[in-house]
Structure 1
Amino acid sequence: MDRSGITRACVFPPLMADYHTANLELRDWALDNEPRALVFARLGGADGPRPVRRFWQARQALGARLKGVAASVPDLEGFAGVKMIPHLSGLPDTETMTAINAAELPVLIHAGAHSTPSWIEKTVLPRLRGPVILAHLGAYPTEAGLLTDAVDLARRNARVYLDTSGVWVSEFLRYAAQRVPGKMLFGSDAPLAHPDVAWLQLASAIRCDKTLETIGWTNAAALFNLPGQFDR
């Protein structure tokens, strides 16, 4: 963050079996050491609906049940949002969804070939009341049809936003920025990509400074009620 001039960053635990402890440890670390970090609780569920069905997913779900892995974080105090990757971790149960709604937290959800925008609209959006951010412009890894679906959903639904993480096709970035600049949030997918690299990619595709400020700061500041000025 310091090297890249990042003012705020959304963070969540990496892929693992037990998110319950990792979420709380990350939250406590941020509260004590890095107030600029907006900590997202990474949540899933062993039996939650999944957009695709594979043998390894069934095995993963069975393992989670046998180990008694906690599937939810009932107390979401101190978290800035929730991260979901349905095709890897399933969806949280009804009790957890209720807690997310009660806390009025934004949800960042992996979106693309494994969790399509149409599947999210049908399966996830009805269970949530707050903002839902489709990661990767809803088109991971690089599917133009999913991009247009995600942009259309963001235009139709006031609660839906798109983030730019993991998007390395300049035309995808331009397409979304031309149609829904007020619904886009800058993301780098760090540590998979350095924030400087992600920002340069975005800035090379979008030459309007005002639009870059909107995507890099203004939209997120409004969504997360952040004070301060734009600084990437």
Structure 2
Amino acid sequence: MLELEHGFRIVDVGVRLDPDQEAVTRRGRDITPERLERELHQAGVVRAIVAPGPRESGGYLRLNNAVARLSVDRPFMAFARLGGPRVPDSSTLGRVRNLAVKREPYHADPEDVEQYAYDDRFHGFLLDPAQDGLPESDVLEMLAEVGSPVLVRGGVRFPPHAVEEFVLDYEFPVVLSGFGGFPLNRELMGAAIELLSAHDELYLDTRFVRFRDPMERALREHPDRVLFASGAPDSHPDVAVMEILTLDVPEDAMRRAFSKNPGRVISGLAGSE
């Protein structure tokens, strides 16, 4: 694809980096870190938050370290992916099940969070409770203590009301991926936008949103709470950027989503406009 010309400084908070051939094979699109960097550059992305994709089982220590290593000398900032033993289910059955869970060695514990937080290779955390399980309360408390930003994968299996119940009581910045409506659920996206009025530390990113209406609504009603995310490599960054550029919103709202808002939430993304 041709390099986009748009005049914006763009940072991307939603990129997956597959650090080994096993992950590439399982996830589908065969893309090297070099090619990923090139595609981001074509779209005008100057910095990107990267984290490993989901595993079928086990923990993320090796993958997190591999992603951090591959980020060196590239415009990537690594986030550590964390898993836990709890199910993100507030039903009676879910609560009973969570009472009986036991943390396995590969699940995140508070010490893991502390080590990642004070390792200068990592700049925040990623939670995907539907895929990896929800960490226990002591882990979430440690996330609040270190205060690093946390990307949360939301969607049908971990909807906005579950994010509010399980995560938003803790005092750390939360960036809810895909407006909390993945895959393509307008009702959940609307619910996530409603949450912005009640939670000052909640932000939404544009990964795989695809619909114009919720993005325009969020950028008009909460211009300081939307962050650009391409979803690369599953979505080409050019496509994701064009989705923002074609919205019917002021240029300043685009600039906020592309760079100003991410720079306020995630240290290291800020830069000259």
Q: TM-score range by the shorter chain?
A: 0.7 to 0.9
User: How much has 1:99 moved relative to structure 2?
Assistant: 3.0
Q: Which residue of 1 aligns with 2:220?
A: 178
Q: Which residue of 1 aligns with 2:147?
A: 104
Question: How big is each residue's C-alpha offset from its partner over 1:5-48, in whole Å with a ceiling of 9 and x where there is no partner?
Answer: 21111110011133111112222332x322x3221111111x21
Q: Which residue of 2 aligns with 1:215?
A: 257
Residue 73 of structure 2 aligns with an amino acid whose one-letter code is N
Q: Which runs of 5+ in 1 are unaligned?
A: none
Secondary structure at the aligned position of 1:196 is classed as helix
CA 1:51–1:194: 2 relative to 1, 3 Å? farther
Residue 185 of structure 2 aligns with an amino acid whose one-letter code is E
Residue 33 of structure 1 aligns with an amino acid whose one-letter code is D
Q: Distance in 1 between matches of 2:178 and 2:89?
A: 17
Tell me which of 107, 122, 125 is aligned to 2:165.
Answer: 122
Q: Distance in 2 between matches of 1:95 and 1:217?
A: 33
Residue 42 of structure 1 aligns with an amino acid whose one-letter code is R
> 1:52 touches 1:114 (CA, 8 Å); kept in 2?
no
Higher helix share: 1
Q: Distance in 2 between matches of 1:51 and 1:43?
A: 18
Q: Distance in 1 between matches of 2:249 and 2:140?
A: 39
> 1:51 touches 1:86 (CA, 8 Å); kept in 2?
no
CA 1:142–1:70: 2 relative to 1, 3 Å? closer
Higher strand share: 2
Q: Distance in 2 between matches of 1:22 and 1:8?
A: 20
Q: RCO greater where, 1 or 2, for CA within 8 Å and sep 6 or more?
A: 2
Q: Which residue of 1 aligns with 2:247?
A: 205
> 1:112 touches 1:136 (CA, 8 Å); kept in 2?
yes
Residue pairs, 1:1-40, within 5 angstroms: 1-16=40-55, 17=57, 18-30=59-71, 32-34=72-74, 36-40=75-79
Q: Which runs of 5+ in 2 are unaligned?
A: 1-39, 92-96
Q: Which residue of 2 aligns with 1:141?
A: 183
What percent of counterpart residues are identical?
Answer: 26
Q: Distance in 2 between matches of 1:135 and 1:213?
A: 19
Question: How big is each residue's C-alpha offset from its partner over 1:131-189, in whole Å with a ceiling of 9 and x where there is no partner?
Answer: 11111011212222212211111122110000000111112211222211110000011
Instruction: Count matched residues.
Output: 216
1:161 aligns with 2:203: yes
Superposition TM-score, scaled by structure 1 size? 0.84
Give the superposed CA RMSD: 2.2
